[in-house]
Chains A and B, each alone.
Chain A
Amino acid sequence: MTHRKETNMKTGRETGDVAVGLLRSVSREGMPIRDAVLRFIPAGKAIYLLPAALFFFSLFFGRYMMDPVETFRILTVGTANAFLDSASSLLSTLTGHQVLLPSFEQTWGASEETVVFRIRLPRVIAAMLVGGGLSIAGASFQGLFKNPLVSPDILGVSAGAGFGAAIGILLSGNPMVIQISAFFFGILAVAVAYGIGRTVGKSSTLVLVLGGIIVGSLFSAFISLTKYVADPYDTLPAIVFWLMGSLSAVANTDIAAVAPPILLGSICLFLVRWRINLLAVGEEEARALGVDTKKMTALLVIASTIVTASAVCISGIIGWVGLVVPHIGRMLVGPDFRKLIPVSAVLGASFLLVVDDIARTLTATEIPLGILTALIGAPFFAYLLTRKKVGWIS
């Protein structure tokens, strides 16, 4: 048992190192902050504070810069007031009398409140949901397909969703129609790929991947077709921009719609996280170890697809996150999915939050997310590969 504790400490220290490394590059002195952080936060858990810190930072940071303290007050007091308001109205309807609960004094202007609650908060939450969701789905698929080069759209969900969105833009242009159509066709694409895999039989994941490739290229052709027939001054740019990914139009209602499926699917994957290990060592071995591989495969495909399709339908196609974030996670905590799944979620949420902050602040016009994730992710990944040994490249 002492051995075990030591390894835990070791991996924990590594996790901490990266988180602390980030802190150190911010601070001039370096060491004192590192020591202080290590003393108060168990090293391995430090990484979990990253999204919380970035969440708050992203709320006050932007082209319209806000005071951090004021932002914090708006966020906490505003939330409390909103809660008290709804409690009042609920009590009023329940009791039939006018009930007015006291509320905190509002010290900020309406525009600040709009920036925090209407503009930045939905966007920040969307970035975290999409980034975390795509990363969890990517990590799960890499385990399921026993291949670290797999991304969440291996079964064609992105191509399907892209086509769905393109059709929605072409036929209606209503954001809600576009989202629903994207979600529906994303799921449909995977269902077809899975169906091909099952029809061919052998239950092998290889056939599943081939099904995904077939469906993916089919829907890519459909996307091209819709682009070809689209109005070049109106709907064509809309399709192109959608395919490049953005969170600029996300509203609170969108969050309410996609948060439940993303969270549900993610929780599902989190619960079976240790079992993904077994699939990752091989289908036959997993079966000999008592895993119902057919059911497990179905569960992982369904959960990951729901997460990915929900994410894609509000954000458009954002590549690179689901592929790279699990790698970074593996470099931090190793290949065990027990740790990899939560760490991927945290890293993915943080990564996309940072990228989205850059997307909305770097230039006067928004930069599409899909471009930035690759522009930032690719060099960063190359740097990590040269810095640290990666298990599957020997």
Chain B
Amino acid sequence: MILNVNNASFSYDGVTKQFEDISFSLGRGEVLSLLGRNGTGKSTLIKCILNVLTLQAGSVEIDGRRIAGMRPDEIAREIGYVPQTHRAVFPFTAFDFALMGRAPHIPAFSVPGEEDCEKVEEAFARVGIAHLRDRCISEISGGESQMVMIARALAQEPSLLILDEPTSHLDIGNQMKVIATIDRLAADGIAILMSTHFPDHGFLVSHTVAILENGRLIARGPAEDVITKENLREAYGIDVCVRYVEEVERMVCIPMSPCGCHGREEA
């Protein structure tokens, strides 16, 4: 197992628990999609796994080592992190931006060398954005910037990739591009943990889906078992339709009409 989360609990103020007693693990090439309402603690859990926030109880292990005792650069060599969006202040080129992913492999008083540049070129080729290398990150689109951030995380040469809602700001075409990239990276043997707001993406890519609700994982397992009418009603308070669609040859999950009238059947 690459990632082991054991009985993890966290609280910002020491009183109200953000989440409690969470356990799961993730192996090479596996993808885990984390579902849950806004504010339910998905991002907090991710920050705890990255050791940006410190767990109150329980532990996170990466490749058998407890993360609490590791230096930031040691963690960054194991875990690549892709934030939701990047707010660019300085117009770095996509290449220089992705080059920062090499930081955990470069001593503090040093600068990237030829080998580091090659690693970044490789990462760009791997996610198929070699054409973006000289563009400014302040000028490229949201989908392109998401890909550049994935390339940056790959430049870290991580065994685990964590993506925080990688598709939330993207149009449907770019969503599928990102999903396809994630699928490909998992096939290469990287463990992937992503939080998402689209249950349907669980069917598109995930090996495992977990739902975080009220500080606990209310369900965890294969997408078909977890993404059900009942679970999603509990997590989001809405009715969904989950069924197999012949044309796309997969299960889909779509929300019912919110007013309960099921579209315009009478008309």
- Give A residues with C-beta under 8 Å from B: 1, 3-4, 7, 143, 146-148, 271-275, 277-278, 280-282, 284-285, 287-292, 330, 334-336, 338, 391-392, 394
Contacts and interface: CB of A to CB of B under 8 A. Distances in A.
Contacts of A287: 50, 52, 72
A394 B112 contact: no
A376 to B, nearest CB: 26
Interface in B59-77: 71-77
Contacts of A143: 90
Interface stretch (B32-40, B97-105, B202-210, B243-251): B97-105
Interface stretch (B79-87, B165-173, B212-220): B79-87
A147 B88 CA distance: 11
B100 A394 contact: no
A277 B104 contact: no
11 contacts: A148-B90, A274-B106, A277-B96, A281-B92, A285-B86, A289-B103, A289-B152, A290-B104, A291-B73, A335-B92, A391-B136
Given A274-B111, A275-B103, A277-B100, A290 B73 contact: yes
Q: Interface residue tally of chain B, by bracket?
A: 35 or more
Nearest to A285: B83
B80 to A, nearest CB: 8
B133 interface: yes
Contacts of A282: 83, 86-87
B44 interface: no
A288 B72 CA distance: 7
Interface of B: 50, 52, 71-77, 79, 81, 83, 86-93, 95-97, 100-101, 103-104, 106, 108-112, 117, 121, 133-134, 136, 138-139, 152, 156
A274 B100 CA distance: 9
Contacts of B138: 391-392, 394
A7 B92 contact: no
A120 B250 CA distance: 81
Contacts of B152: 289
A299 B139 CA distance: 32
B92 A336 contact: yes
A245 B50 CA distance: 48
A291 B103 contact: yes
A334 B50 contact: no
A16 B263 CA distance: 65
Taking each of A3, A292, A335, A394, which has the highest tally of chain B beta carbons within 10 Å of its own beta carbon?
A: A335
A334 B91 contact: yes
Taking each of B89, B93, B156, which has the highest tally of chain A beta carbons within 10 Å of its own beta carbon?
A: B89
B89 A146 contact: yes
Nearest to B118: A1
A370 B35 CA distance: 58
Nearest to B105: A290
Contact of A392 (B73, B91, B97, B117): B91
Contacts of B93: 7, 334, 336
Contacts of B101: 289
Contacts of B103: 275, 278, 289-291
Contacts of B139: 394
A291 B91 CA distance: 21
B148 to A, nearest CB: 11
Contacts of A391: 90-91, 136, 138
Contact of B92 (A3, A148, A277, A285): A277
Given A273-B111, A334-B91, A392-B90, A292 B96 contact: no
B234 to A, nearest CB: 31
Given A3-B134, A290-B73, A290-B104, 8 more contacts: A281-B100, A284-B52, A288-B50, A289-B81, A289-B104, A289-B156, A290-B156, A291-B73
